[in-house]
Amino acid sequence: MFKKYIYIFAVVVIAISLVSCSDDNSTSPDTSLDTSKLTGNWVVTYYWDDDKEETYKFTGNSFSFLANGTVSVTVSNSTFPGVWSSGIDDSKAKLYLIFASPEHLEEISDDWHVVEQTDTKIRLADESGGDGSTDYLTFERQ
């Protein structure tokens, strides 16, 4: 049980570090991402990784975003912890996601640009640093 709390603490520290490393020196508030709309239960309805659609990896996964910056993902009968935060980078609203396991959640651990947000849908995009490809991730409210 103690190891679980150490893990969660480490993940939170990493998430805070990512947000604080932003290249954007703007002091304007993040008005493009309404974090109050993020809390609650969500499912992945679309995931494009590099050159192929891989939404199937998230079938049956339920994401529960909490206001305190944690997210728990239920996969079958197991729950996996993660953290989320928001910020602005390159003058764009971002959603930061960090998961340590399982592998398909590690794949979406990244800083995602917010493309669109409604009460029921959040569309995200991330340009890969290595090959210049763009990944896409869409959450819809359950």
Each residue's pLDDT tens digit, 50-59: 889 999 999 9
Mean pLDDT for all residues in the chain = 83
Residue 4 main-chain phi, psi, to 5 deg: -60, -45
Query: What percent of the chain clears pLDDT 90, i.e. is strictly above it?
Result: 63
Q: Which residue has the higher pLDDT, 121 or 131?
A: 121
Closest CA to 82 of 1, 142, 3, 4: 4
Q: Tokens in use for 24? A: 């954007």
Task: Give the residue-averaged pLDDT of 20-33.
Answer: 47
Say if residues 93 and 86 touch (Cβ distance below 8 Å).
Answer: yes
Total count of domains within the chain? 1
> In which domain, by residue range, is 72 found?
2-23+30-141
We report the CATH number of the domain holding residue 129 as 2.40.128
pLDDT of residue 131: 75
Q: How far apart are CA 79 and CA 63, in angstroms?
A: 10
